Amino acid sequence: MRAVIPYKKENAKSRLSSVMTKDERETFVELMLKDVIQTLTEAGVQNIDILTTDTGDVANDIGVRVIEDRADLNPALNSYLKGLNEPVLIIMADLPLVRSEHIQQITSSPSDVVIVPGKGGGTNMLFIRQPEGFHVKYYGSSFRNHCRIVNDLSMSMNVYDSFLASTDIDEPQDLIEVMLHGQGLSREYIRQRFRAEVGNGRVQLSTID
């Protein structure tokens, strides 16, 4: 099996711009990527590909294969899948809470497809046993899209239920989850920059001056 991580660094995570500068966001996505690679490696995944629109976005010392495709996410992933004749895990780069146990459980599922929903209708991970003939449709309500695609192909599906794996980091309120439940480089980065503000509702983060 292989894992593929779609990745874009340039001006990434614009919805975090109210709390992080462009440079900080670019540093942070790189740290999240490194955490995801570390998790995959700990889970025993040996073949890891980064799929990026610009090879220059990826640090030289990243230690995994980097594939450049200037197309958008969906066409890029779909041409990647076309050439594959082994199981593949598509895992997003903004999942610093994922642990190696999740990866092991997902990739050992007997289902044709395992889907990990993201917050707000997204798809955080997609494990596809036979990628030939499958296509992805990210953005918008991709969870529903992928359920429909699996159904149309008469494949079996497992929706993997994990708070940690479903927490993609897109918006300021997601950063509190990195601080509380994270690990690795991205948690360290957030802990250095923010502190938890406790009120009556959900915990908020404020910048450490």
Residues that bind a second copy (CB under 8 A): 15, 117-122, 139-141, 143-144, 161-166, 170-171, 173, 176-177, 180-181, 196, 198-204
The DSSP H or E segment spanning 155 is: none
Q: Which helix (H) or strand (E) segment is 2 a member of?
A: strand 2-7
C-alpha to C-alpha distance for 73 and 93, rounded to whole angstroms: 13
Comparing CA positions, the residue from 158, 71, 42, 117 lying closest to residue 34 is 42
Question: Taking the complex as a whole, how short is the minimal distance between the CB of residue 198 and a second copy, in angstroms?
Answer: 4
Cα distance between residue 54 and residue 14, in whole Å: 18
Do residues 9 and 165 lie in contact, with contact meaning Cβ atoms separated by under 8 Å? no
Quick one: 48 or 165, whose CB is closer to a second copy? 165
| Pick 167 or 186: Cβ nearer a second copy | 167
Give the nearest distance from C-beta 59 to a second copy in angstroms: 27
- Closest approach, Cβ 184 to a second copy, in A, equals 17
Angle at 40 between CA 189 and CA 110, to 5 degrees: 135
Task: Select 22 or 181, whichever has its Cβ closest to a second copy.
Answer: 181
> Three-state DSSP class for 127?
strand
Q: Position of tokens 């779909």?
A: 78
Closest contact distance (angstroms) between CB of 182 and a second copy is 12
Q: Which is nearer to a second copy, 27 or 141 (CB)?
A: 141
Q: How far is the CB of 63 from a second copy (least distance, A)?
A: 28
Residue closer to a second copy, measured from CB, 30 or 170: 170
Closest distance to a second copy from the beta carbon of 27 (Å): 22
Pairing of strands 123-128, 157-159: unpaired
Residue type, 21: T
Neighbours of 82 (CB within 10 A): 12
Radius of gyration of the chain (CA): 17
Judged by CB, which is closer to a second copy: 72, or 86?
72
